[in-house]
Amino acid sequence: MRFIILICVSFMLVTIAYSQTNSLDCELTKSYTQQTIGTWGSYITKISSELEKKPNNDLLFKRMMVRHMYIAHLLFNESESKEIDTQLEGMNSDLTELEKKSEYASKCLAFRSAYNAYCAVNSPATALYYLPKSFSFAKDAIAKSPNSPYSWSEYGNLQYCYALFLGGSFADAIHSFTKAIELIEKQQKNVACNWYYIHTLLFLAKSYEDNKQYKEANKIYDKILTIAPQFSAIHRWKHKI
């Protein structure tokens, strides 16, 4: 009887932990679709508080990803903010800790790519140092973890920015984002509360759009709306064709 009770208690604790994590994912997704990423510093604080109570690798990975998106927001909207350096340091620390875990090491390659790209944007004088490292990490991520959606999505981000700022075709970014989406849909269940999935879909649509493939862009915008109908900005971005 005692054994059965212990099993039940353990199951309840796991269920509670899962529910809390799932709730956070839904909150982040709601914030992403409402375009309030500027508030994500509060989520980092919230996650950090939970990690202080009890270390958890999944939660640590989540904090790193939240930092990742928050840094992108700050760089392109508040480029003079001192918070950028703080979050870059935090992202580097999170990655360093996660790289010690075998189940996360390969995933971290993709985000090391993003970290180096952010360092280049934050300090353009160092771009010749950081950008080659960023592409090197992205390619290593694809080679070592070809079935990881993070590998393809982060590589797609690089390819998109390269095409956007230096000119050229967006076809490579389209390929990478499409591959990432296929993997997410195959491997992950709750896509409605997966802001990273919606973000990848959004940049696939933007890649089609910037490649003047407006019909394909609209199809992806419509797909986003079926998953996240609250993402009202999509209506403004769709093309009349």
Burial class (CB in 10 A: 0-12, 13-18, 19+), 177: buried
pTM value is 0.88
Residue 240 confidence (pLDDT): 83
Domains in the chain, please, with CATH? 27-111 (no CATH), 146-232 (1.25.40)
Residue 16 confidence (pLDDT): 33
> For the residues of 84-127, what is the DSSP string, one character each?
HHHHHHHHHHHHHHHTTSHHHHHHHHHHHHHHHHHHHHH-GGGH
Asked if 159 contacts 176 with a C-beta cutoff of 8 angstroms, the reply is: yes
Per-residue confidence of the chain (241 residues) as pLDDT tens digits? 443 333 333 333 333 333 344 689 999 999 999 999 999 999 999 999 999 999 999 999 999 999 999 999 999 999 999 999 999 999 999 999 999 999 999 999 999 999 999 999 999 999 999 999 999 999 999 999 999 999 999 999 999 999 998 887 899 999 999 999 999 999 976 889 999 999 999 999 999 999 999 999 999 999 999 999 999 999 999 988 7
